[in-house]
Amino acid sequence: MKRILLVCVAACLFSSGFAQNDTTGKKETNDTIRIGGMIIIKKPGSEDHEVITKDHTVRIPSRRKPENIITNWWVMDIGFSAFDDKTNYASAEAQSFAPGATEDWFDIRSGKSRNMNIWILMQRLNMVKHVVNLKYGIGLELNNYFFDDETIWFKKNPTVVIQDDTLQGAKKNKLAADYLTVPLMVNFNFTPDRRNGYGFSVGVSAGYLYSSRQKIKTSDDKFKVHDDYDLRDWKISYVGEITLGVIKLYGSYAIESMWEKGLDQTPYNVGLRFSNW
């Protein structure tokens, strides 16, 4: 371990002394330094170094220079969907939308209610020395809410939520809401010279509801009904992410209920992000 540390220190200390100007037109040669039993070599046209000892050869890459605009294609998030239910079920509006409803109606299965986001692209724009950046993108935000009460049924035209006892014992009962979403964040990158660094981002996102449906599967049959169910066309959310090396976490919390009327349920998502930076 001490030898590896010594190699790294030596490479950093002497890297500035490796540059040589060839003004005679002769063939370029390697820059070489000997330290005891170690040989440090910098080859022409390369910013990396090779450290040769009796038993090993170690390649030390140079620190990369960050670009002003970095693009990351096909970023994927996998996590959980849920909502903060603040509905007053005693109100006339709630009872008109879901007659007889209580908060137990809309309990969701936390382990099964999934969120998947597919970001077609994410870009990071340097603002202050690659430490403060503007981060933005575009992609699809997919939310699936699985209900504990398998008898919940969303009827349409107009939207009314009821309990249908014929659905008792259903294997699956979920509401899906998918958005075309654009996030905009301020990114703080504390290690701009590293690909998998450390930092965080905060901002907002705007999502347009392009598809929503209820899917129910019983032992005998399954059906899927597409409708907007009086979900809001737009979902505006606070968004954030934390980067801890190769581990990246994300989260979002909407600024208002996902329903236009009747229910006051504010959606949020948390999970893991799979991206290059």
Count of Cβ atoms closer than 10 Å to residue 163 Cβ: 16
pLDDT at 174: 96
Confirm if 148 and 176 have CB atoms less than 8 A apart: no
* Residues contacting residue 119 through CB under 8 Å, at least 6 positions apart: 72, 74, 75, 76, 77, 137, 138, 139, 275
Provide the residue ranges of all domains of the chain, joining segments of one domain with +.
2-60, 69-274
Tens digits of per-residue pLDDT, 124-150? 999 999 999 999 999 999 999 999 999
* Residues contacting residue 62 through CB under 8 Å, at least 6 positions apart: 15, 47, 48, 49
pLDDT at 193: 86
Residues in the chain, pLDDT under 50: 1-26
How far is the C-alpha of 68 from the C-alpha of 137, rounded, in Å?
Answer: 16
DSSP-derived secondary structure letter, 70: E
pLDDT at 9: 44
pLDDT at 221: 86
Return the exposure string of 100-125: e unless at least 16 CB atoms fall within 10 Å of the residue's CB, then b: ebeeebbebeeeebbbbbebeebebe
pLDDT at 40: 67
Tens digits of per-residue pLDDT, 166-211? 898 899 999 999 999 999 999 999 999 887 889 999 999 999 999 9
Count of Cβ atoms closer than 10 Å to residue 43 Cβ: 15
CATH 2.40.128 fits 69-274, yes or no: yes
Q: Which two tokens stand for residue 87?
A: 């509905």
pLDDT at 23: 44
Confirm if 273 and 241 have CB atoms less than 8 A apart: yes
